[in-house]
Copies of this chain bind each other. A is one copy, B any other.
C-alpha cells in the first residue's frame, strides 16, 4: 500500500508527499494536529491541514525568521517568540550570545509536546535554561507587555483558526508597545503568488506603525509556491544598514551575511504589491 499526504495549498493547486506512517493525529483544543513521517522530508508537522515544518527544510524558515531581525538589532537581550511551538525559531535565537532570555508564548501546548517527541532536532532547544516556555494566548501576552522586548518574532500559522488575530493591525500596535525603543519585529507574511491581498494589507498596516518596514523572502519547498515573505518592522534600526562588524559567525544552512541583504531584493511583482 502506498500512502500519500496531499495538501491543497489553494483550491486548485497542491503538494503531495509519500508517507511511511502517521505518527500522531489529534484534534486539540485549538486545531487539528497531525504528525506524519514522509519519505522525502522526514517527519512533518501539519496543523489544520497545512504543513508547518519538516525535518528536511525547516532550517530555512527558522534561520530566516530569527537571524535577520537579531542581526538588525545591535544587542538583543530579551527576545519574544509568539507561536513557534515547534521550537525551531528558539533554537536559532539561542545561537546569539547576547540573548539572555527567550520567551516563547504558544497557545497550543500539544504543539510543544508532540514537537519534542517527534521533532527533537527542532524542539530540543526549548529545554535550554535561557528559554521560558509559556502556554498562553500570544495576543493577550502582547496586550499586557510594555517596553519589554528587544526583538519580537511572530511565528504563526496561516490566518485561520487561532492565528486570525495575529494578522490584525491592533496586534501590530501592541507589538510596537511591547518593544523597547530600539526594538525590531518580524512576522511571517505568507507567499506572494497566492496571497497577494494578505501581503498588501499586512505591509500597509505595519508600515503605518513602524518607521522602518521592509519585506524579505526565502525559499521553502513545502510552503505554497516555494517563496515565502517576511515583514520586518523597526522603530530605529534598518535591516539594510547593519554594519559589517555587527555580524558574527553562526552555524547555519541557509542564512549568510550576504543573503541577509540579498533577501530584500524583491522580484518586481512582489515589490509592486507593496506600492
Q: Give the B-binding residues of A (Cβ under 8 A).
A: 6, 10-18, 38-41, 57, 60, 193, 217, 219-221, 225-227, 252-256, 258-259, 261-269, 271
In the complex, 22 of the A-B residue pairs with CB atoms within 8 angstroms, ordered by the A residue number, are A11-B39, A12-B18, A12-B38, A13-B18, A13-B38, A13-B39, A14-B16, A16-B16, A60-B267, A193-B221, A219-B219, A219-B225, A219-B226, A219-B227, A221-B226, A254-B269, A255-B268, A256-B267, A259-B266, A261-B265, A262-B262, A263-B265
Q: Output the residue of A39, A193, A217, A255 with the most chain B CB within 10 A.
A: A193
- Taken together as a complex, chains A and B put the C-alpha atoms of A87 and B161 apart, in Å, by 44
Residues of B within 8 A of A261 (CB): 262, 265
Closest to A38 in B: B12
Determine if A13 and B6 form an interchain contact, defined as CB atoms under 8 angstroms apart.
no
Residues of B within 8 A of A227 (CB): 219, 221, 226
Residues of B within 8 A of A18 (CB): 11-13
